[in-house]
Amino acid sequence: MILVDPPVWSFRGRRWSHMVSDADHAELHAFALDLGLPPRAFHHDHYDIPEELRARALDLGAVEVDGRELVRRLRAAGLRRRRRPVKTAPVGPSTITVMAVLTLFHNPRCSNSRKALAALEASGADFDTVLYLKEPPSRAELDQLVRRLDGDVADLVRKDDRFKQLGLDKADYTEAAAVVDLLVEHPELMQRPLLDTGDRAVIARPPEPTVAAVLDGR
């Protein structure tokens, strides 16, 4: 059964719920795809979903429970997942994800991105690498990345030659919605390297000290 708790977690002007399955993760992933969420938006044992998407989840058959019942059912099913800790307090609405898998959004042609990859490999950290130009983030995933981003959302857009070729104005990309719209259409404009812990997303520039700070929970 798919379970969602009330949308009581506020972040950046939106309210969020947790969505889990008390049967298996295959059920949860299939349901998430119906909602337009990609598999990479999964946070170990749940999805964070915005209030407006939660209404559709309920229409599709999800059952509303309170937060304590949701966690109890998750534990009872043996689906409560924990991984190697990233020592940082959650920045977004999630109170379930307390330990996170690292994801590096990587462009191998970028020297800073290569340095971040090398630093992660040298650290022995458990992380996934996403070649975002070959596998661009979906709108739903970009929504989550922007929601978790440390710093100004405008920094997620590269103001490079491609940006200029498209005739874009940086003043138009200071709000989350505009940034997401742009990166859905032009993923090549996403700043890299981007390191996502599941609780926070950080532009890893400069690469080595930023990677070290994220791993240390700073």
Query: What residues contact residue 139 under an 8 Å CB cut-off, 6+ apart?
Result: 36, 180, 184
110 is catalytic: yes
| Cβ-contact 17, 51 below 8 angstroms | yes
Task: State the Cα–Cα distance between residues 174 and 201, nearest whole angstrom.
Answer: 17
Annotated active-site residue in 110, 133, 154, 178? 110
**Backbone φ, ψ for residue 135 (5° rounding):** -130, 75
Burial tier of 45 (Cβ tally within 10 Å: 0-12, 13-18, 19+): buried
Known catalytic residues are: 110
